[in-house]
Amino acid sequence: MISLDEAVTARLESHGERFEVLIDPDAALAIKRGEFEGDLEEVIAAEDIFENASRGDRPAEEDLE
């Protein structure tokens, strides 16, 4: 797992909601290129999902369903 200091924010917009996760930028690029071979747990810097990662705001449970 990558440290939080090295992580970048990945955003996903779905059904009018925006979600953010902290990820390893190099692994994310490898995934995008189809070159990643490994466990996705290595990509994620934090197991939390955020509405705004910089503020630490988490979405409501209903929004995640």
Q: What is the pLDDT of residues 23-65, one digit of tens each?
A: 999 999 999 999 999 888 889 998 999 999 989 999 999 888 8
Tokens 């934090």 label which residue? 46
- Count of structural domains within the chain: 1
CATH number at residue 33: 3.30.1250.10
31 in Cβ contact with 38 (< 8 Å):
no
Q: What is the pLDDT of residue 63?
A: 86
Residue 65 lies in a domain: no
| Region 17-25 average pLDDT | 95
pLDDT of residue 21: 95
48 close to 23: Cβ distance less than 8 angstroms:
no
DSSP 43: T
- Tokens at 41, concatenated: 């747990």
Name the residue range of residue 19's domain: 8-55
Whether residue 12 is contained in a domain is answered as yes
- CB of 7 closer than 8 Å to CB of 46: yes
Give the bridge partners for 14, in sequence order: 17
Q: In this structure, is residue 60 part of a structural domain?
A: no
